[in-house]
Structure 1
């Protein structure tokens, strides 16, 4: 039976790259006998309704954009009980990298027509003042969230340089965090540069921040990078691309199914930024307040793999 698809496209993803990805793919799929609808939107608010319509019509929902677009679409697909496919067209594309989605058009067409709907874990993220949301790849606070803010203002740089430059700039101005992390009821205190709660191995356009993470193991990988000198952090940055940073004494790796995080910048008490799959989430709750809570949702969504 030939599949039917609804492409949900963020036209702003990848500096306008997403529409260029869709047009040839849609043509190839139609030539193969598939039904294809295409909807363009940069507003997460309209995604649930578009997904409901697609799923009710028996269509596979295809997220075309970056990791932020994927997370907004994935949650809606879970709620609608549908199936999802990913076509990377953003700046990072880290979850597509984790699932080894082909980068070439022939491979993408084959995946859409013949891929197997596979249960994949998602993250359930709750924090004060925000509705609970589903996230595909990772949630993070500290240096990397600051780097994400810098990337959002770095469109003048070539895409391949945006994340490395942002990482160096974020480290150069970082301050340690007085951090409290609780994993499955076990609490630990840290003076840290960064904390990542990960479902996927990758973030930041190919950094293997959680090298042992798996999207189908029902567990979270928590990476705490303890505070160090700025020069030491910059020197260690290349190791993250290989996942070798977890061998450093300053890096703690924890695993579990439920994680809470709270903290403020050490000494100043200033709020710490939080990000999730390239999108800002606000500020990390202070110690003693209701914390950021991340839980694993095993096999929450079926994705063509």
Structure 2
């Protein structure tokens, strides 16, 4: 890639507020690195979500070689809406990534779970930028979400609903602290309101009526800054992984919760796991999040779309799907 990489056209989209307003500095560092190596770089600082979305779509339409985002999982989520195949359909034998720009990520967010799973450097902007020229393009699946009266949305990591959606909602409203601790504090605050929810879960036509604390649907293993909620997920197997955390009390949830970071919570006798191409989640008066971004109210249906996006990752990590 290095022979042609020096002439690569790179659009670098930055969230200036990412990483406690460090996003702009990290973007400048990454852009300088690429320019010094001969790449053509357009640095774009979007001031709000709408502008960022429009700019991402413009860059894809302009035919850049790489769409690089500087930010967290929210910026990755935004880029996926521009890069994923129109209509969500992939023709037989034709990768959805054919002719589309590759996605590169310079992590600058709070959780950076998309980068974490793919082995993209999360604390070295220059090393992350080098992947634009030296990385291996890996073709990944995405989840495509549809709901009543809402346009389709794409996600790269995990879709969640239930207690976790309430915690994410609270954590997103908190300004401090940063990182994993913010999520932990939000969880403690929501524990006082903990209640089981009656879900209807449909996996490839098999219907399950159950009470649960939360349901997670994973294209990858990890969310929330390193929690391996769906350790059986792989982003290149054409399927989604589902984890159902049962209706448990506060004390039991606190006892099991630390195991999520290792992915060993699935050995709890009440936890259930599934895999499937299509997953529908339904309960009353509840929202869902994916990649840490709000999707809307349930019911929602998620579908695994194979070979939906190409991502530049460190070489020789093709088997790192469950990292």
Q: TM-score, normalised on structure 1?
A: 0.91
Supply the distance in 1 between the matched residues of 2:309 and 2:178 (Cα, whole angstroms): 33
Equivalent position to 1:74, from 66, 77, 80: 80
Supply the distance in 2 between the matched residues of 1:175 and 1:204 (Cα, whole angstroms): 21
Equivalent position to 1:91, from 97, 110, 113: 110
Poorly superposed stretches of 4+, deviation over 4 Å? none
Could you tell me which residue of structure 2 aligns to residue 6 of structure 1?
A: 11
CA contact (8 A) 2:180 2:224 kept: no
Equivalent position to 1:183, from 180, 203, 224: 203
User: C-alpha root-mean-square deviation of aligned residues, in Å?
Assistant: 1.6
CA contact (8 A) 2:216 2:244 kept: yes
Distance 1:300 1:42, change over 3 A: farther
How many residues matched? 293
CA contact (8 A) 2:33 2:126 kept: no
Supply the distance in 2 between the matched residues of 1:125 and 1:43 (Cα, whole angstroms): 23
State the secondary structure of the residue aligned to 2:173: coil
Supply the distance in 1 between the matched residues of 2:129 and 2:101 (Cα, whole angstroms): 20
Deviation at 1:35, TM superposition (A): 1.1
Could you tell me which residue of structure 1 aligns to residue 308 of structure 2?
A: 300
Supply the distance in 2 between the matched residues of 1:17 and 1:301 (Cα, whole angstroms): 27
Distance 1:156 1:44, change over 3 A: closer
Give deviations 1:228-283, integer Å, cap 9, x for gaps: 1111101111000000100001210000000011113xxxxxx1221111112232
State the secondary structure of the residue aligned to 2:144: strand
Supply the distance in 2 between the matched residues of 1:158 and 1:7 (Cα, whole angstroms): 24
Distance 1:57 1:182, change over 3 A: closer
- Structure 2 gap segments, 5+ residues each: 87-99, 314-323
Give deviations 1:86-120, integer Å, cap 9, x for gaps: 11111111111111101223421331211122111
1:276 and 2:276 correspond: no
- Structure 1 gap segments, 5+ residues each: 265-270, 285-290
Could you tell me which residue of structure 2 aligns to residue 102 of structure 1?
A: 121
